[in-house]
Amino acid sequence: MRGMIGLVVGAGLLAAPLAAQGRPLTTSGVRGLTFGAVLPGVPLVVTRTDPALSGQLDIRGPNRQQILLSFTLPLVMTGPAGAQLPLVFGSSDAGYSESQAIGSQIGFDPKQSFTATLANNGRGSVFIGGTANAAANQRAGAYTATLTLTVTVLP
């Protein structure tokens, strides 16, 4: 009986940190970064506020949880026969939005880690733009690359 009481008390102590932790952290890619048609020799910029072309990733986790956002960014997109199309990210090409609204972002440098806080409902979104620098003699065709966002819960 004393053991049962001990267990109940023990379980009660555990419940508090679990409630604070809330739902598990999840990250999902919502929309790719789309440059569309690129003319050789003409840099093409996609802004992070472009609702159709910017990349978007959504995050869910504990309410008001502080998180660290880190991108792994490609230097080039790869196309036909291994042709490479340079891809450049500026110092404000990424943005974070607690409200997940593309028009309400805090810009940050996607080449640097960025600390953000999830909203009261445990949600947040990251948007990203960039520049495709096609050379004047860039080989025609479709080019792709993968961008990875890593989200880390901060203590």
Chain residues binding another protein by CB under 8 A are: 2-4, 6-7, 10-11, 14, 17-18, 21, 24-42, 44, 55-57, 59, 61, 74, 77, 79, 85, 87, 128, 130, 132, 134, 136-153
Return the bridge partners of 78, or none. 84, 144
Q: In what order do the strands lie in the sheet with 130-132?
A: 44-46, 130-132, 84-88, 76-78
39 or 101: CB nearest another protein: 39
Q: What Rg do the C-alpha atoms of the chain give, in angstroms?
A: 21
**Alpha carbon 118 to its chain's center:** 13
Q: Minimal distance in Å, beta carbon 64 to another protein? A: 16
Assigned token pair, 122: 């445990």
Smallest distance, Å, CB 61 to another protein?
8
Q: Enter the tokens of residue 96.
A: 């974070």
CB 17 to another protein: min, Å: 8
- Least distance in Å: CB of 82 to another protein? 14
CA-CA distance, 23 to 13, in Å (whole number)? Answer: 19
